[in-house]
Amino acid sequence: MTKKLVSLVLALCLVLGVSAAMAEKLSITVWDENFNGSAIKAAVADYKANVDPEFDVDLTIVSGSSDVENDITLAASSGDYSNLPDIVLFQDHYIQRYVLDYPDAWKNIDDAGINWDDFGAEKLSYSTVNGVHYGVPVDNGTVIMAYRVDLLEQCGYTIADMTGITWDKFLEVGKEVYAKTGKALLSMDGSGNDLPYMMLQAEGESQFKDGKANIAGNEKLARIIKVICDMVNEHVLILANDWTGYTNETIMQDQVAGVMNGNWIIPTMSQVTDNSGKWQITTMPTLDGGEGYAANGGSSLYITANCKNEELAKKFLAYTFGGSTETYDNALRNGGVITCCISAGKSAVYSEGVEFFNGQAVYSDIVAMGANVPIIEQNDFHYTVRTSIGNAIQNILNGADVESALQEAQEQIDFAMDI
């Protein structure tokens, strides 16, 4: 192309109010600069290096996921999507409600050219609504059960001894650990107790059934609540007053010999550098024995109705988070974001031993575990149920019986759900 022709093309673009740079630029909004922000930056660098050097992103970091939710609600309520970015990060537990309530706010990405079979079915169950794919998974919420193997060894146990065990055996080991080390084997935020959800999912059951809360009369949930209360009473479980108490006062103050949560808890654990090399991970215990799998937390990227270059947005997401080893390797290195993409989790970076976890290749193990998480019924009232069950646990610890406490929780949730 001659210089004169190039000048004519650029002039035409200016007349039309569209530049070549604008055509290859997307706006993306996420929260958590060091985590999700790092993942986006890794994806952009990958795309620029291997697909289009002119590509760029306007990245906005908001304070929390609620900012994105509020923006979508405001835009949909007014019928004006013009202030939305091209792509947003959205919480897995909330997205189905927002797609069903505001269907015009989102783009169908079935034709993005992504191999959906390369992702765990449970992870995709959030972003797939009525058989249509709307989101591309980003961070992996697979639950890890981490143990201080040095403290287990003091009590005569190995990580293998803690794999595939019952919760009753966990309680038994926990009592020994506390007696010999003074440390609990587990802790959790008592004000936002995620244990019942994770433990129930590992049984293949949900807190919901046919769109309603499944609390009263749920035999497995009752057994789980009893185990939790027994662990508290036997000093095996610390229920902190709030999230800060959970992370800062139990985990980071080295008060526990075990941690169970979504793998995003690893950066918090890793801040206790003196314990590097003393941890290993495995699967969760279950009520009747056998390895348990669950997921807690996580998010995906969605193209909004305001996206003017839908083809570019789909191409960017499909190339990067749809399966690029380079994107996921660097997201892991720089932000601790673990892929949900099964093939990307087999890279050399994922297979490296991690010093903090005694040389265990925990990242590849987590991806493999994520492929086994059972799909259970989800509901927009997830956090309402979590709060109500957490209150029921506190009532039981204060003397209420399990059945009546769960019945009260059921009634509270039914009222909230207008049932």
Domains and CATH numbers, the chain: 22-141+297-346 (3.40.190.10), 145-294+374-416 (3.40.190.10)
DSSP per-residue string spanning 152-203: HHHTT--TGGGTT-BHHHHHHHHHHHHHHHS-BSEEEEGGG--HHHHHHHTT
Q: Give me the pLDDT at residue 34, please.
A: 86
Q: Which pLDDT tens digit goes with each residue over 213-239?
A: 999 999 999 999 999 999 999 999 999
DSSP per-residue string spanning 323-375: T-HHHHHHHHHHH-PPP-BTTGGGSHHHHS-BGGGTTB-HHHHHHHHHTTPPP
Q: Which pLDDT tens digit goes with each residue over 28-51?
A: 999 989 899 999 999 999 999 999
CA distances 140 to 48, 294, 299, Å, are 24, 11, 8
pLDDT at 18 over 50: no
Q: Give me the pLDDT at residue 393, please.
A: 97
Which residues face 256 on adjacent strands? 184
CB 94 within 8 A of CB 31: no
CB 263 within 8 A of CB 143: yes
Across residues 376-390, what is the average pLDDT? 92
How many beta carbons lie within 10 A of that of residue 182, not counting itself?
A: 10
| Distance in angstroms (rounded) separating the CA atoms of residues 170 and 153 | 15
pLDDT at 272 over 90: yes
Looking at the chain, the whole-number percentage of residues with pLDDT higher than 90 is 87
Q: Give me the pLDDT at residue 419, please.
A: 77
Q: Among 135, 140, 71, 126, which residue's Cα sits nearest to residue 106?
A: 135
Among 4-13, 182-191, 256-265, which is the least confidently predicted range?
4-13
pTM of the model: 0.85
CB 21 within 8 A of CB 56: yes
Q: Give me the pLDDT at residue 211, please.
A: 92
With bands split at pLDDT 50, 70 and 90, how would you rate the model's confidence at 14? very low
**What values do phi and psi take at 277, rounded to 5?**
90, -5
